[in-house]
Amino acid sequence: MTAAGPGQAPRWHVMPDPAMLARVVAQRILELATAFLAGQGVFRIVLAGGTTPEAVYRLLAAATTDWSRWQIYFGDERCLEADHPGRNSVMAARSWLDRVPLPATNIHPIPAETGPEAAACSYRARVQEARPFHLVLLGMGEDGHTASLFPGQDHPESELVHPVHHAPKPPPDRVSLGFAALNDAEQVIILVTGANKQAAVEQWCSGAGLPVAGVHGHAGADVYIDADAWGDRNRRDVRLHC
Ligand code: 6PG
């Protein structure tokens, strides 16, 4: 295990477009799954929400692997009804989990419909039992948030699961894994696509303390980013982190 800690510069993988990024990431996830299934007989993965990972999930739906030994967790969830189309769990189900023979008992949604505090309390026990995770998948928002950890909000480093109120990205009430859980992971993959993410990437590369920069796992984070988000600016001035 590579020693890594806070401030560990991520490994950047710049892809020409979102379709290529999805193909490369789906392949990487399956490689990791094969390795952990061979070594430990189980693959514990934390899923990203939002829209970026959907293309990856659709590719995984066509993959051949022993789904019965995958354990699915969620990095964050919006406080909406369990079957609401805006839920991250519903997006993952429709694009992937409902399309493969993965036992329902292996899928561990955050009960966000019960509200931030109750859901965080309940999921804390589930996370404590599950960690360390083998892979944490994350996205990044335009402001540098990841999961539902937003800039300017207080997220104690020691927190496993965080109740979120007043999130700037609707809905305002959410539940998120905290840094202690997100960083208790063998591997971290962060997906970033779209020109609207360039400013946050620039800040990240300049060493700004964005929430996304606080997730490094046990071995540093691998950031898969498309050319639109990476931008065509010369980054010599920020090579320190990129
Ligand atoms: C959510 C996500 C959030 C997302 C980023 C990026 O619930 O919205 O967990 O953290 O990953 O906002 O979203 P996009 O992939 O849609 O750009």
Q: Which tokens in the block code for residue 28?
A: 């990487």
Residue 56, CA distances (Å) to 11, 80, 139, 215 in order: 19, 24, 12, 20
Looking at the 3D structure of the chain, how many domains does it have? 1
CATH number at residue 42: 3.40.50.1360
Gap from CA of 169 to ligand 1 centroid (Å): 9
Cross-strand partners of 136: 46, 188
Q: 25 lies in which domain range?
A: 11-241
Mean pLDDT, consecutive 10-residue segments, the chain of 242 residues?
A: 56 96 98 98 98 98 98 98 98 98 98 98 98 98 98 93 98 98 98 98 94 96 97 55 53
Quick check: CB of 78 below 6 Å from ligand 1?
A: yes
Q: Which atom of ligand 1 is nearest to the CA of 196?
A: 17
Gap from CA of 36 to ligand 1 centroid (Å): 27
Nearest residue by C-alpha to atom 4 in ligand 1: 50
Quick check: CB of 163 below 6 Å from ligand 1?
A: no
Cross-strand partners of 188: 136, 221
What pairing do the DSSP bridges indicate for beta strands 174-177 and 76-78?
antiparallel
Quick check: CB of 235 below 6 Å from ligand 1?
A: no
Q: Is residue 44 part of a domain?
A: yes
Quick check: CB of 88 below 6 Å from ligand 1?
A: yes
Q: What single letter denotes the amino acid at residue 87?
A: R
| pTM, 2 dp | 0.95
Residue 9, pLDDT score: 86
Q: Is residue 39 part of a domain?
A: yes
The SS3 of residue 126 is helix
